[in-house]
């Protein structure tokens, strides 16, 4: 009997909406930098997968508790997370930045002293707001997803939010989000695909191999250009 190895099938968790990394197009398909990279890598490496758009904190938690094989969610590679996860090579250089309502008079971090800051649970932005909290006398309020976090600033309940700068920039430009970025980009960070530490090494290796080949073929750059264009 010839042994025919079935293609591996993986379950991959992601955020609900985190454009330009993952979001639904008008037909309800998940698209974006993460989704297109994963699709191209899976095709090149010969594996299949299904996407579970759980939300960021839930995706991280599902990976930690072995309910999914991997997570791709514009996820920042941090030393703290490396204790629980193995990360792929960096595929996007990002950074955190505060944003306020488009008509706000606040222009920089100093202007945020004593203010209320909306953050998304479990994110690098939430960590940074909590780190600055005592020095700047912030009140930090948490949300499960970016949409509700932005909404809290738009309604004036929160004074500002902090999140990955390219995500806010994309929503301002393409989603008509009435916020503006203020101050400087606060931390530059790398973005990676994650598996649980010590597990799914084959999947991680396939991701890295596929990513490297997409980089050399130019496909990686064309995916970035498709979503971010000149600012990529």
Provide the binding-site residues for ligand GLN, judged by CB under 6 A. Answer: 15, 18, 56, 73-76, 120, 123-124, 164
Q: Residue 73 CB, nearest distance to ligand GLN (Å)?
A: 4
Distance CA 24, CA 137 (A): 37
Do the beta carbons of residue 18 and residue 60 sit within 8 Å? no
For ligand GLN, the closer CB: 8 or 89? 89
Angle at 164 between CA 31 and CA 220, to 5 degrees: 45
Give the nearer residue to ligand GLN in terms of CB position, either 147 or 182.
Answer: 147
Closer CB to ligand GLN, 45 or 124, in the complex: 124
Q: Which is nearer to ligand GLN, 144 or 226 (CB)?
A: 144
Distance in angstroms (rounded) separating the CA atoms of residues 176 and 171: 6
**CB 168 to ligand GLN: min, Å:** 11
Element (H, E) at 188: strand 179-191
**Closest distance between ligand GLN and the C-beta of residue 7, in Å?**
28
Instruction: Name which of 121 and 213 has its Cβ closer to ligand GLN.
Output: 121
Q: How far is the CB of 2 from ligand GLN (least distance, A)?
A: 43
CA distance 219 to 232: 14
Report d(CA 75, CA 191) in Å as an integer.
Answer: 5
Nearer to ligand GLN, 73 or 214 (CB): 73
The residue among 14 and 200 lying less far from ligand GLN, judged by its C-beta, is: 14
Give me the least distance between CB of 102 and ligand GLN, in Å please: 22
User: Is the distance from CB of 88 to CB of 77 less than 8 angstroms?
Assistant: no
First to last CA, the chain: 50
106 three-class SS = coil
Q: How many residues does the chain have?
A: 232
Instruction: Assign 101 to helix, strand or coil.
Output: strand
Give the shortest CB-173-to-ligand GLN separation in angstroms.
18
The gap from C-alpha 141 to its chain's centroid, in whole angstroms, comes to: 19
Residue 20 Cβ, how far from ligand GLN at the closest point, in Å?
12
């Amino acid at each position: 009997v010839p042994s025919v190895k079935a293609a591996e099938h993986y379950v991959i968790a992601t955020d609900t909406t985190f454009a330009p990394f993952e979001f639904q197009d008008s037909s309800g398909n998940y698209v974006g930098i993460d989704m297109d990279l994963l699709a191209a890598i899976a095709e090149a490496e010969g594996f299949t997968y299904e996407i579970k758009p759980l939300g960021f904190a839930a995706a991280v938690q599902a990976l930690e508790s072995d309910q999914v094989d991997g997570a791709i969610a514009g996820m920042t590679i941090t030393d703290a997370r490396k204790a629980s996860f193995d990360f792929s090579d960096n595929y996007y250089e990002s950074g955190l930045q505060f944003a306020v309502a488009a008509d706000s008079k606040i222009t920089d971090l100093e202007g945020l002293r004593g203010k209320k800051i909306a953050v998304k649970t479990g994110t690098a932005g939430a960590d940074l707001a909590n780190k600055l909290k005592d020095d700047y006398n912030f009140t930090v309020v948490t949300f499960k997803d970016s949409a509700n976090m932005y909404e809290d600033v738009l309604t004036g309940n929160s004074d500002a939010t902090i999140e990955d700068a390219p995500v806010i920039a994309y929503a301002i430009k393409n989603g008509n989000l009435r916020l503006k970025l203020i101050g400087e980009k606060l931390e530059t960070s790398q973005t990676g695909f994650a598996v649980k530490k010590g597990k799914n090494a084959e999947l991680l290796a396939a991701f890295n191999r596929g990513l490297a080949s997409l980089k050399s073929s130019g496909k990686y750059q064309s995916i970035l250009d498709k979503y971010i264009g000149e600012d990529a």
